[in-house]
Structure 1
Amino acid sequence: MKLFHKIYANPDSTEYLFILHGLFGMLDNWHNMARKLSAHFNVVTVDQRNHGQSPHSNAMSFDLMAEDLAELMNHLGVEKAHVLGHSMGGKVVMKFADLHPDKIEKLIVVDIAPKKYTPGHTAYFKAFNTIDFSKCETRKEADTALAEIESNMGVRQFLLKNLDKAEVGYTLKFNLGPIEAFYPTMIDAMLFQWIISLPTLFIYGEKSGYITEDDMLKIAETFTDSEFIGISDAGHWVHAEQPKAFEDVVLAFLM
């Protein structure tokens, strides 16, 4: 699949950094961070399948999403790159490291572990399945509808970025059905065919709870050259909540 992507070019660098967003996300979520990191690398942000402006498909798996990234790298003529993934994107880049370790210089996984998680997005799926956004004349009306299931304005704004203006009301950018069908697999524990010895950094928000100390011990059994850095005063959206601290940690690892 040919993924929609954006390149933040740096003519003075030969290094590439690919960034993959999380569930219900899109490459725009990483614009500010990509722009900053492009002072040091050629940065490529990606809309994953069934998200943003990338093609829709009924087929969705971590293997397919990893192969999508490999196809994009081949299309751009990039043999090897740094790869960063947040949340769902973090699981994709871990699978990418399992399938294509030769394509990675260094790996960064943001606030996700390869373990099984309890469902945490049920209300979002219910909202997207039940709210008729075609009847919302303004984004404010859509926000009011979402507010019934999500009180956090920041999260609502993140979700509302997935609305496209239509002739009548709004439509969803993402392909809800296949994403919802994939969700049980997405939150399940991952299996790897190899021990992964690539230099790997796991960044987590200290207020998030997505990665625990027990998780770190388990992760290190598979990712044998891994390190873990917590960002204080940050939850799951580490890069958005503490951008300067996040940028500093990424650069210290990659440079």
Structure 2
Amino acid sequence: MTEPSVGITVVEAASAIARRTGQGPTALVVLPGFLDDATVWTVFADLIARAGVDVVQLEPAGVGGRVNASGPFTLRRMAEDAGAVVDSLGKPCVVLGQSMGAQVAELVAAPRGDAVRGLILLTPVPLAGTRLPDPDIAPFRALGGNLEAQRAVRSQLTVAPSAQTVDLQVAAGARIPPAVVSALADAWNDGDSAGEAPSRFQGPVLIVRGAGDGFVTDDLLQRVTPRFNEPARAVIDRAGHWPHTEQPEALAETVLPFVIRSAARATSRL
């Protein structure tokens, strides 16, 4: 399948917005990770919006309210959709991506240094991909439609998982068609060739991981952090791979100062 053209219209871009909360001179654009949709970000987004930030929660094609969208389900396609939304906002923004969403977030931010004033990578998968061998990526490809397996993965990578938290995320994953799940697993595993070089994004970067994340470990972050110029780093205690659902208040307290500083820089440059 061929990649779609970059000239996506604002009307098409608007379909990627699942929820928009709050008002303010700066937007926080949120990109979900593998098997997630906008529903799992609601508590975190509401906390950020209370501080006067325009929070824009996106959903990639094949996920959430866009389960009927056609492919390709690639990092570049997701970045084109999200980038069109950023372009349509008409205000400076900070882009936050979690896990696979962090790969997409960097692709969105890199060519938009004027509009994107900050980049937050939450439990990030390296842009170059994890490059797991076929026997190791195959179980992730097969998660579509297998709610028992999804629940097991969520529980394994969550610190002290509550039934409510896991149920919320499993419900999000259950809505994604199996063929899309398989394609998305290949997308984050294969990565993008841009990840082989230093990042093109030259603005401030905040890299956040959960203290108990068994997937995005300090070793894996060594394939992320050196690509950026002096990125800030933070760790969320009592959180695994999904701090936005496990510890939304702590995550909001961690990222909000970064967003506010970015807003102040944006105001001074306009």
Q: Calculate the TM-score normalised by the size of structure 2.
A: 0.74
What residue in structure 1 maps to residue 185 of structure 2?
A: 183
Spell out the pairing of 1:109-188 with structure 2 (5 A cutoff). Answer: 109-114=121-126, 115-117=128-130, 118=132, 122-123=138-139, 125-126=141-142, 128=144, 146-147=147-148, 150-151=151-152, 152=155, 153=163, 154-163=165-174, 173-188=175-190
Residue aligned with 1:66, SS: helix
Displacement after TM superposition at 1:162 (Å):
4.7
What residue in structure 1 maps to residue 80 of structure 2?
A: 67
Unaligned runs of 5+ in 2: 1-11, 156-162, 261-270
Spell out the pairing of 1:215-234 with structure 2 (5 A cutoff). Answer: 215-234=220-239
Q: 2:205 aligns with which of 183, 200, 205?
A: 200
Displacement after TM superposition at 1:85 (Å):
0.9
Confirm or deny: 8 A CA contact 1:4 1:53 kept in the other structure. Answer: no
Confirm or deny: 8 A CA contact 2:95 2:120 kept in the other structure. Answer: yes
Q: Which amino acid is 1:176 matched to?
A: P
Post-superposition Cα deviations, 1:119-147, rounded to whole Å, max 9, x if no partner, equal 76744643535x6xxxxxxxxxxxxxx33
Q: Is residue 2:57 matched to residue 1:56? A: no
Q: Cα RMSD (Å) of the superposition?
A: 2.6
Q: Which amino acid is 1:174 matched to?
A: I
For residues 125 and 198 of structure 1, the distance between their equivalents in structure 2, rounded to whole angstroms, comes to 34
Q: Which amino acid is 1:56 matched to?
A: A
| Comparing 95-104 and 242-251, the one that deviates more | 95-104
Residue aligned with 2:119, SS: strand
What residue in structure 2 maps to residue 29 of structure 1?
A: 40
For residues 82 and 150 of structure 2, the distance between their equivalents in structure 1, rounded to whole angstroms, comes to 33
Residue aligned with 1:187, SS: helix
Q: 2:31 aligns with which of 4, 20, 30?
A: 20
Q: Which amino acid is 1:22 matched to?
A: G
Q: Which amino acid is 2:238 matched to?
A: D
For residues 110 and 187 of structure 1, the distance between their equivalents in structure 2, rounded to whole angstroms, comes to 17
Displacement after TM superposition at 1:174 (Å):
2.4
For residues 63 and 103 of structure 1, the distance between their equivalents in structure 2, rounded to whole angstroms, comes to 19
Residue aligned with 2:233, SS: strand
Residue aligned with 1:99, SS: coil
| Comparing 53-62 and 63-72, the one that deviates more | 53-62
Displacement after TM superposition at 1:252 (Å):
2.3
Displacement after TM superposition at 1:56 (Å):
1.2
What residue in structure 1 maps to residue 58 of structure 2?
A: 46
What residue in structure 2 maps to residue 244 of structure 1?
A: 249
What residue in structure 2 maps to residue 134 of structure 1?
A: none
Q: Which has the higher contact order (CA 8 A, sep 6+)?
A: 2
Unaligned runs of 5+ in 1: 132-145, 164-172
| 1:184–1:247 distance in 2 versus 1, CA, 3 Å | same
Q: What is the identity percentage for the equivalent residue pairs of Structure 1 and Structure 2?
A: 22
Displacement after TM superposition at 1:63 (Å):
1.5
For residues 182 and 244 of structure 1, the distance between their equivalents in structure 2, rounded to whole angstroms, comes to 29
Q: Is residue 2:94 matched to residue 1:82? A: yes
What residue in structure 2 maps to residue 94 of structure 1?
A: 106
Residue aligned with 2:193, SS: coil
Q: Calculate the TM-score normalised by the size of structure 1.
A: 0.78
Confirm or deny: 8 A CA contact 2:47 2:249 kept in the other structure. Answer: no
Q: Which amino acid is 2:72 matched to?
A: A
For residues 116 and 70 of structure 1, the distance between their equivalents in structure 2, rounded to whole angstroms, comes to 20
What residue in structure 2 maps to residue 141 of structure 1?
A: none
For residues 219 and 140 of structure 2, the distance between their equivalents in structure 1, rounded to whole angstroms, comes to 29
